[in-house]
Amino acid sequence: MIEIQTASGLDATITVPGSKSITQRALIAASLADGRSILRGPLTSEDTEYSSRALRALGVHLETGEDTWYVDGTGGTIGVPSEHLYLGNNGTATRFLTSVAALGVGEVIIDGDERMQQRPIAPLIEALRGWGVDIESIRGTGCPPLRIRAAGLSGGKTILPEGKSSQYLSSLLLVAPLARQPAELEVHGEILSKPYVAMTLEVMAEFGVGVEVAADFSAFRVEPARYRAREYRIEGDASGASYFWAAAAVAGGRVTVANVPVPSLQGDTMFVPLLARMGCSVQQSDFGITVESDGRLEGITVDMSAMPDVVPTLAVVAAFAEGETEISNIAHLRIKESDRLHGVCVELGKIGVHVDEYPDRMVIHGRGGKDLHGAAIDTYNDHRMAMSLAVAGLRVPGIRITGEQCVAKSFPDFWQRFAELS
Ligand SMILES: O=C(O)C1=C[C@@H](OP(=O)(O)O)[C@@H](O)[C@H](O)C1
Ligand SMILES: C=C(OP(=O)(O)O)C(=O)O
């Protein structure tokens, strides 16, 4: 358990670790490429450790130094692991590596921890079957563990049924160029977390693979192609940066995050304009993105389908605003590392914030941070619960974060960097 120290009048410049989402995409593109890639500024964390270990088990040679990783691409020739691929609670890797494993020849079992075994993957299973993959959810739950009897991808046309994760679509796109024939994908239902699909397309393009895309992302076509190895720099993680921008909003003062660029591949940078709508001032320069606040904030109404990972951060900021903040179109928060829609409502309630929970939205009744009090916060083994609720502790004395080591999933030295704020 860690007790957060209050702080005010912040004046800090910090850097954040590499983007978790870009690191995992670049790792896969580099692993499937011909030749050696050099990744600069990748994220070293529990999740990327799971990804790297699994890729090694699939035959990729990876050297992971502190700031530079070397990846010897397989040209798409994927091996069969001698053991199960265990991916913890890494949703991105579980979804992406399922498709990568299908490129090999032989049986592969994909598994994760107890929570990952409750996180759905059925739409991806269905779509891969349409490309000729023999794959099943071993317990018939539509979740891991999965068995794949891999024999490559036929390509041709498949349908991705409606689902609540964009990771299914990103996963299919990443392997589509390795199919035996041109691969076509028809997508049913609303795509939540859309900027992550755009990120996938950008990383694919940067590694030399183009995709034909319908403007609304309802259809895709990918010709057989090879990824090109390259040297590639990874942006700082915008979701991780959100806690520091939010810190300025809640505690007052200014915080600059120096290594999240503008423009960025990450949709979560759109969190910053939301803070501006709430009353913060925002500057973007070569030195990074700065958020400045006098601590006076107003509630807003916002659809956050496109940026689920920063919903807990915004909800915490909203607790210190005057008036209601309504965050809608966020049903997908219920299938993350924890049920974040419920967890945020419960934990903010513990410090005295009134929050209404609905199936796919929440309403936070802010009263400018008045009458809030300390509490022991449960984090449900969910890094984003821990990091977002910590921000409240900058203003409310006595906030204790339990299970604080869960930040290792995406931001191992979060607590040291957070302590630098005060
Ligand atoms: O593709 C990605 O890198 C991610 C997509 C999002 O998930 P969903 O598409 O399941 O919402 C996001 O929550 C996750 O942290 C990372
Ligand atoms: C949802 C997240 O990750 P994943 O889906 O990769 O487990 C996250 O990092 O907030």
DSSP string, 389-422: HHHHTTTSTTEEETTGGGGGGT-TTHHHHHHTT-
Task: Confirm whether 148 is domain-assigned.
Answer: yes
* Strands ordered across the beta sheet of 10-14: 10-14, 253-257, 288-293, 281-285
Q: Which residues are annotated as a binding site for 3-phosphoshikimate?
A: 20-21, 25, 165-167, 193, 309, 336
Q: State whether 76 and 151 are in the same domain.
A: yes
Q: Could you give the CA distance from residue 145 to residue 2 in angstroms, rounded to a whole number?
A: 34
Structure tokens at 355: 């929050």
Binned average pLDDT, 10 residues per bin, the chain of 422 residues: 97 97 98 98 98 98 96 96 97 98 97 98 98 98 98 98 98 98 97 97 98 97 98 98 98 97 96 98 93 97 98 98 98 98 98 98 97 98 98 98 98 97 87
Could you tell me the CATH number of the domain that includes residue 315? 3.65.10.10
- Provide the pLDDT for residue 287: 83
Q: Establish whether 309 is a catalytic residue.
A: yes
Index of the ligand 1 atom closest to the CA of residue 200: 1
- Provide the pLDDT for residue 422: 82
- 309 in ligand 2 pocket by Cβ < 6 Å? yes
Residue 121 CA, ligand 2 centroid: distance in Å: 14
Let me know if 338 is exposed, middle or buried by CB neighbors in 10 A (0-12, 13-18, 19+).
buried
User: Given ligand 2 and candidates 90, 114, 336, 381, which is best to mutate, with the most ligand atoms within 8 Å of its CB?
Assistant: 336
Q: State whether 408 and 267 are in the same domain.
A: yes
Residues β-bridged to residue 107:
149
Q: State whether 264 and 355 are in the same domain.
A: yes
Q: State whether 86 and 70 are in the same domain.
A: yes
Which residues approach ligand 1 with their CB closer than 6 A?
A: 21, 92, 165-167, 170, 192-193, 196, 308-309, 332
Structure confidence by residue, pLDDT tens digits, 388-403: 999 999 999 999 999 9
Residue 192 CA, ligand 1 centroid: distance in Å: 9
Structure confidence by residue, pLDDT tens digits, 183-200: 999 999 999 999 999 999
Helix, strand, coil distribution of the chain in percent, nearest 5: 35, 25, 40
Residue with tokens 């590596």: 97
Q: State whether 38 and 145 are in the same domain.
A: yes
Number of domains in the chain: 2
Q: State whether 156 and 252 are in the same domain.
A: no
Q: State whether 255 and 384 are in the same domain.
A: yes
Q: Could you give the CA distance from residue 105 to residue 148 in angstroms, rounded to a whole number?
A: 10
Q: State whether 153 and 280 are in the same domain.
A: no
- Provide the pLDDT for residue 312: 99
Index of the ligand 2 atom closest to the CA of residue 94: 6
Q: Is the pTM of this model over 0.95?
A: yes
Task: Confirm whether 230 is domain-assigned.
Answer: no
Which of 220, 252, 283 corresponds to the end of one domain? 220
Q: State whether 293 and 384 are in the same domain.
A: yes
Task: Confirm whether 113 is domain-assigned.
Answer: yes
Q: State whether 200 and 284 are in the same domain.
A: no
Task: Confirm whether 351 is domain-assigned.
Answer: yes
Task: Confirm whether 322 is domain-assigned.
Answer: yes
Host domain of residue 28: 20-220
